[in-house]
Structure 1
């Protein structure tokens, strides 16, 4: 039994008096070289994520919402871009807003002059709603005056396209917007949790609603940092969103799933605790809400390319040079 636990056993015997057994076991041993339950080969053990991945996976195609009261133009856009996008349609601003809140599309293309609710009003409503404020919106207009464009930009439109237009021009405009958002999300995800000049610059590139949203997410994670119950369900409940809505918004803003973002934040705090030099690795894992020490080391290495012990060792070696 002692051997199975990678320990040592010593015995001292005195005739007519008795024997003394001493057992030595490693503390915080994760037994990386042993065969774990349900394993058939002695491979590197991969510990399942304690943060349950119950997030809704996105479709392979990005979602495009087309809001246009003219059926010919609406169908033209849908047919022209259907090979690259999952296209949803609505025939006025009110229905467009409902569809956007229901599906959280990746991008919206909308006419301006429509019954019930025009494109400018729909854009204004969507941009002030935290669930949809991040979605880029292209407005289509038959007018090309500076005043009309200024009105659209004031309500939050990301781009303008004047009718008549070609499908290739619209596709190019959509691709450019999505690529710029994707680059921003990748950069944001890479620096998530850092308090430096780069993080401040990226934060400024978000609109105020989205910036406040990310700050609130960070606050919720930090408030329960030591809990292992912080997951997408907890955050969605606190943000008054469905799991799928939160997932799509986090993915759009950070390039990370909600649970990936939570892990990244936990590792940033783990690094801070490690640098303070006040805690053992086990204590740090507990402070960031991870009860499995091997999984904690695995997450830390994925984030910083070193285990916590290797990370500190390299810092000490570099500081001694």
Structure 2
């Protein structure tokens, strides 16, 4: 039974202008440029949508096949009870529509087979400043351990880093100005919605922004290859009170400027003639190694 309070709109025309937020989602260049300017992002799958709603994010609309409507009806009904109309900044002032269509219509709209249940076009929450985020100036607890991502362009890697950060108790993630968007559809999906639970923001300047972390009491540790590097084990043995772990691009690693701005250069000891790991894998190793000294959030070892 579908509650009458839901504003269900059945769509049959892929060119319906009301569906513009969802058009051609497979075009990475278009979505990466378009979404931040419009102040929206796309949440994909019922699990991710629920996590976005739980984090307090406000939807502009939903898009799904008929068979998924009942699955999300309770969540959407609860949202409609709290927010009868879309009165978020940039909102429509109208009830949030739930667009429902046949699978072939949905595929024509989005450019891919919608097999994960549903999509939602969500309003982007405003990002805090770096200082505000890491010091708790906006009412948070303040951070002791943060991840810094420099110019990682693969959305899958960004999502995986966020998932590891959430699982291993990292307090916040900070991204460089040219880093891929954590709220891009693939990043959100790979993270399983953990981008909504780990506080994050974007530096306005780079690598100068690292200086602000140092002024806030963080030791900046760059994960890179260097003759004067210490091992991750040595860093953990003498762990600073507040730590920022800086991770670099998929191909070249960290920039020279980021390494020079760091307080320490850190390497992960490896065998087998391997000199580096994928950035998502390296992040998980670094987060795991520093967890006991820097975080009391873990209930059990996994």
Q: TM-score, normalised by structure 1?
A: 0.28
- Structure having the higher Rg: 1
Higher relative contact order (CA 8 A, sep 6+): 2
Relative to its length, the structure with more helix (as a share) is 1
Relative to its length, the structure with more strand (as a share) is 2
Q: TM-score, normalised by structure 2?
A: 0.29
